[in-house]
Structure 1
Amino acid sequence: MNDLIDALQWPAMAITLVAAWLVGSLSRRKRTWGFWCFVLSNVVWVAWGWHDHAWALIALQVGLFLFNLRGVFKNDDAPAG
């Protein structure tokens, strides 16, 4: 089980990169998907950080989670593009 949790850092990193790519899109729909991918990456990073007792990483992910939720809702209010 420890090996599985240790391996979470790789999908978390990949999801974060995909999210960053999508958030940079001109398409509102892709940006929304990007913010939701960031939210997923926050959850996966917290799971990995909890296992490794990486409390600063967990605190960072909680803060970024709140910013990403803000991005989801502010993006929904943006003019279509």
Structure 2
Amino acid sequence: MEGLLDFLQWPAMVVSLYAAFLIGSKKAGKRVFGFWMFILSNVLWIIWGVHDEAWALISLQVALMAMNVRGIFKNESQG
């Protein structure tokens, strides 16, 4: 289990990059999906952060998750 938690940072990074790519779309639906991917990456980073006791990273991810939820609502109201 320890090795799996150590490895988790890599999928979290890949999902974060994919989400950033989607957020740049001109289509609201793709942007919303990007925000959902960012939320997935936030969860992955939080899990990794708890494992690594990276409390500042966890705090950052919680704050970013709140902004991603806001982004979903802002984009769905435009769609």
Q: Show structure 1 runs of 5+ residues with no match.
A: none
SS at match of 1:47: helix
Q: Distance in 2 between matches of 1:70 and 1:32?
A: 10
Q: Distance in 2 between matches of 1:32 and 1:77?
A: 11
Q: Which residue of 1 aligns with 2:30?
A: 30
- Say how many residue pairs are matched: 79
Q: Show structure 2 runs of 5+ residues with no match.
A: none
Identity %: 57
Deviations 1:25-51 (A, max 9, x none): 001110010000000000000000000
One-letter identity of the residue aligned with 1:50: V
TM-score by length of 1: 0.96
Q: Which residue of 1 aligns with 2:75?
A: 75
Q: Which residue of 2 aligns with 1:51?
A: 51
Q: Distance in 2 between matches of 1:77 and 1:24?
A: 18
Say which structure is richer in helix: 2
Q: Distance in 2 between matches of 1:32 and 1:69?
A: 9
TM superposition shift of 1:54: 0.1
One-letter identity of the residue aligned with 1:17: L
Runs of 4+ in 1 over 2 A off after TM superposition: none
TM-score by length of 2: 0.98
C-alpha RMSD over aligned residues: 0.6
SS at match of 1:34: helix
Deviations 1:35-81 (A, max 9, x none): 00000000000000000000000000000000000000001012x4x
